[in-house]
Amino acid sequence: MSLQICSFPQAACLAALVATVWSYEPAQAASQPAAVTSASPETRPPNNKAFSPAFKGQTRAPGIKTSFKLDVTTVAQGLSNPWAFEFLPDGRVLLSERSGQLRIVDSSGKLSQPLQGLPSVQFEGQGGLLDVALDPQFEKNRTIYWSYSEPRQDGNGTALAKGTLVEDAKGARVDGVKVIFRQMPSLKSNLHFGSRIVFTPDGKQLYLTLGERSIPAGRVQAQDLNSHLGKIIRINLDGSVPGDNPFVGRSGAKPEIWSYGHRNVQAATLDARGRLWSIEHGPRGGDELNRPEAGKNYGWPVIDYSGEKMHDISAKEGMEQPVYYWDPVIAPSGMIFYSGKLAPEWKGNVFVGGLGSMKLVRLQLEADKVVGEEWLLEGRLFRIRDVKEAVDGSIYVLSDGGTPSLVRIAPQAR
């Protein structure tokens, strides 16, 4: 155990920040960066032994090992049920707490008072204030977006709002709040709100992931095109529908839908080519890595690799196979494609946070197939809720269990 000063990506180191640091060394260093070893990290039996992968490498990829030690630095604590964060241009962090607060974390790790002006959330079960994202033109317009579980007369549902972040002598607040999308129909459930916000490469539209609310009445609607449940949608930044969405003009279909047949997508991001990738929770197995494409059906709840008795097939014509799946589950939340220069051997790899599994998972891809998997920080950070790459190439993760914390991960200085 050692003591180290940490900085935010665009801020100078401040001696006022007291940060706890530990070194993490892989159990077996590879002779070359990310060399593939003979064993996968997963050794437990799958929950459903009757299912076989649809193709080689669809699950239990060979184990890989990072060749360098890691420094893991606690940047901020004192958080309450944190869910998501974004780096502001000046290096501070905008962070959401499920109980309904948006806060700003400064370069010393100090938390601001909650920002004023946000609508009420239904903070119950998995609900509350969820993802937060900066407009692609944030430095010009100061616009932010956030998703949340919205209380309604007939239940609740995922909503997406936008507003202007203002900081002046009166404090920090959000002005001009407008709800630009509401998931329909409403249901009385406190589960599976989905809620990752991802902007398209041109910054003109955004994707929002939507869970199917878990209860039977919602689950079946993942296959219903006249429902937003269990879907990924694509909308313009004002909430209107892009004219080239796949179901525009189709009778009995919600025009916002991009892809369907999803369960509870809590991880989503773009790759270096600007393509959307997502990871959704399976029930007792079958967490899925997908590359959602316009108009395609990803199977839930008809096909799945889970251990639930309701599933007796893992493939069906007209339904897409996952690029990769985990059984048993990692309970994913938050993902990035690494692009930084700080760790060249990680470039192009996927990093995804694990909730119940309490680990950071690294996937190595070739030609859109997973060829290696590594588990980092297993059991050290409790539940990892969100993952982001900082401008300096370090990785920040948000932990919402134990002592909720914002944590920086970087190669150990030699």
User: What pLDDT, on a 0 to 100 scale, did the predictor assign at position 35?
Assistant: 32
Angle formed at CA 176 by CA 137 and CA 78, multiple of 5 degrees:
80
User: What pLDDT, on a 0 to 100 scale, did the predictor assign at position 315?
Assistant: 86
Strand order in the sheet with 264-270: 264-270, 276-281, 287-290, 324-326
How far the first Cα of the chain sits from its last, in Å, is 16
Residue 221 CA to residue 173 CA, distance in Å, equals 37
What is the DSSP-derived secondary structure letter of residue 108?
T
Task: Name beta bridge partners: 87.
Answer: 93
Alpha helices in 4-75 (DSSP H): none
pLDDT in tens, the chain (414 residues): 333 334 444 433 332 333 334 444 433 333 233 333 334 688 888 887 778 899 999 999 999 999 999 999 999 999 999 999 999 999 999 999 999 999 999 999 999 999 999 999 999 999 999 999 999 999 999 999 999 999 999 999 999 999 999 999 989 999 999 999 999 999 999 999 999 999 999 999 999 999 999 999 999 999 999 999 999 999 999 999 999 999 999 999 999 999 999 999 999 999 999 999 999 998 878 899 999 999 999 999 988 766 565 566 788 889 999 999 999 889 999 999 999 999 999 999 999 999 988 999 999 999 999 999 999 988 776 899 999 999 999 999 999 988 899 999 999 987
The one catalytic residue among 192, 262, 281, 311: 192
Residue 51 CA to residue 314 CA, distance in Å, equals 7
User: What pLDDT, on a 0 to 100 scale, did the predictor assign at position 75?
Assistant: 96
User: What pLDDT, on a 0 to 100 scale, did the predictor assign at position 12?
Assistant: 34
Angle formed at CA 286 by CA 282 and CA 291, multiple of 5 degrees:
90
- Judged by DSSP in three states, 143 sits in strand
User: What pLDDT, on a 0 to 100 scale, did the predictor assign at position 1?
Assistant: 30
User: What pLDDT, on a 0 to 100 scale, did the predictor assign at position 307?
Assistant: 58
User: What pLDDT, on a 0 to 100 scale, did the predictor assign at position 173?
Assistant: 97
Residue 59 CA to residue 62 CA, distance in Å, equals 9
Residue with tokens 């998995």: 126
b (16+ CB within 10 A) / e for 240-255: ebeeebbbeeeeebbb
User: What pLDDT, on a 0 to 100 scale, did the predictor assign at position 97?
Assistant: 98
Closest CA to 225 of 311, 148, 296, 149: 296
User: What pLDDT, on a 0 to 100 scale, did the predictor assign at position 32?
Assistant: 31
Residue 405 CA to residue 382 CA, distance in Å, equals 10
pTM across the whole model: 0.90
Residue with tokens 């919602």: 218
In contact, 72 and 396? CB cutoff 8 Å: no
Closest CA to 315 of 103, 5, 55, 34: 55
Strands (E) in 114-256, as ranges, are: 129-134, 143-152, 155-168, 171-182, 197-199, 205-210, 231-236
* Sign of the dihedral through C-alpha 156, 278, 361, 82: negative
Q: Which two tokens stand for residue 194?
A: 């989905």
Taken in order of first residue, the domains within the chain and their CATH numbers are 24-411 (2.120.10.30)
User: What pLDDT, on a 0 to 100 scale, did the predictor assign at position 303?
Assistant: 83
In contact, 278 and 233? CB cutoff 8 Å: no
Residue 311 annotated in active site: no
Cβ-based neighbours of 69, under 8 Å, separated by 6 or more: 23, 24, 25, 411, 412
